[in-house]
Structure 1
């Protein structure tokens, strides 16, 4: 299951997540995280130009450990004025910082980034044709966005979507399978929904209280199955055969060690009860709406 994982690096460049009490790790801690990930067989990192200095941290790591090279998935910053840049030169700059020759994948940071300048899509395809990037993808949120990508932009190699115990198979499976029919793979993010699954009732901010019944149901399932909620969250996503890669993020090496232990614990489970959870407050499944 380790080869299915992508390590998210937003936490290496920014303080990120409502359950993040550790803050951004030091470079020494970041290198320790990356070393452990590599030594355990994890080979893909997810970063972005908008993730603070995470690209610089990865580049510094590659320079410090030249025999340990990760496959890098990066995203075009939504803050970049694409009308004023040459995209090839822009990506070359990132490659130089990362100390690599090719991006494993380059992504649109959001659906809006694509729709605001659709012609940029052809430039992404050109980057792939020239071997500057191996794959092209896009980060999307809603099912309507996924549907549009499938129908009108099927040259994408993959989509990256939220997928977890609440934003689950009931909402996503049909579209993910439809994407696969167009040779579009699916990467998932928000495995832990930014730490929401680890919060107790007293820690929930008022805006998130409508999610309390769903969280209680998940905890009930975990208790009945005698499985920690973290195990439940990771195994749920990893065991979905229609998902190609699963993105997880950590703030500390200890968290990574714990998560990789969970990944290695395969336990066949009947996920029907989780699949049937049907969250009505869809806006609360997007952490951008929690503020």
Structure 2
């Protein structure tokens, strides 16, 4: 099963298409139970996701591979070893578990600071102690990876979707696989934008209306749902180990797992963008 459950919305309001706010805790527990039933075996969380880790800890995460992220902060640069140790202690306490499948840096370019070697060594030490199985980074795009070639990572999380194919086009998707790194893809739906009806898309996206219309037309012509198109596109890449998706309801979880098995025709090269103001949600002005 390539689907991994992202849990940001369990701890905070997340996503441009999110109209219902943070997922209630009882619903979160239902989603986690269903994920287990559907053979979704990986949970993605972070200390920066509000109360997400605590919610997972109370729900029970036995038999899941759990990936969390080091909380960004000035201490991550100034006192990396003690900061990383505090972060792992806090995450393990919140999650009520003894070890993590993976621990990622939320701000990987911290490794380029003068204390970057010490920060990396702190992660390696956690691995030696058996507190984490894999260490890695969560990046905003292949540019980050270009800057971090001096470091070895077991796991890399990066954005990729039908409209944002930078990871594949740059050669980094293939390169990471050859290096033995596990690749987890996030932003499969561009924070829900790629699933929204055209009439509901915010005004901010008007400059890219032509591209979005071409995308909508292609999906319709292939007789696919937008969900099937997004997941089917990513599922075609053998180099991708997991696709991290967030859900608000158990019904969405079922729909996603079902759609993940869709086989999609080749998507036209014209249906993509490298405009960072469009493909990086962190830069959106909504």
Q: Which residue matches 2:251?
A: 254
Q: Which residue matches 1:277?
A: 271
Alignment of 1:140-159 (within 5 A): 140-149=139-148, 151-153=149-151, 155-159=152-156
For 1:105-137, what per-residue CA distance to the aligned partner results, in whole angstroms no more than 9, with x for missing partners?
000002333334412011101111221100011
Q: Which residue matches 1:288?
A: 282
Q: Report deviation, 1:72.
A: 0.7
8 Å contact from structure 1 (residues 164, 192) kept in 2: yes
TM superposition score normalised by structure 2: 0.91
Q: Name the stretch that deviates more: 32-41 or 170-179.
A: 170-179
Q: Which residue matches 2:133?
A: 134
The unaligned stretches of length 5 or more in structure 2 are none
Q: Distance in 2 between matches of 1:139 and 1:86?
A: 18
Does residue 47 of the first structure (1) align with residue 41 of the second (2)? no
TM superposition score normalised by structure 1: 0.89
SS in 1 for 2:171: helix
Q: Name the stretch that deviates more: 77-86 or 231-240.
A: 77-86
Q: Report deviation, 1:8.
A: 0.2
Does residue 38 of the first structure (1) align with residue 33 of the second (2)? no
Q: Report deviation, 1:95.
A: 1.1
For 1:42-70, what per-residue CA distance to the aligned partner results, in whole angstroms no more than 9, with x for missing partners?
111000001000000010011xxx7x432
The unaligned stretches of length 5 or more in structure 1 are none
8 Å contact from structure 1 (residues 108, 114) kept in 2: no
Q: Distance in 2 between matches of 1:27 and 1:115?
A: 38
Q: Report deviation, 1:101.
A: 1.3
Q: Which residue matches 2:119?
A: 120
Q: What is the aligned counterpart of 2:216 among 198, 202, 219?
A: 219
8 Å contact from structure 1 (residues 186, 243) kept in 2: yes
Q: Report deviation, 1:248.
A: 0.5
8 Å contact from structure 2 (residues 92, 99) kept in 1: yes
Instruction: Go from structure 1 to structure 2 and tell me whether the alpha carbon gap of 1:169 and 1:80 turns closer, same or farther (over 3 Å shift).
Output: closer
SS in 2 for 1:179: helix
Moved segments of 4+, more than 6 Å: none
Q: What is the aligned counterpart of 2:75 among 62, 71, 81?
A: 81
Q: Which residue matches 1:99?
A: 96
8 Å contact from structure 1 (residues 162, 188) kept in 2: yes
Q: Report deviation, 1:173.
A: 5.6
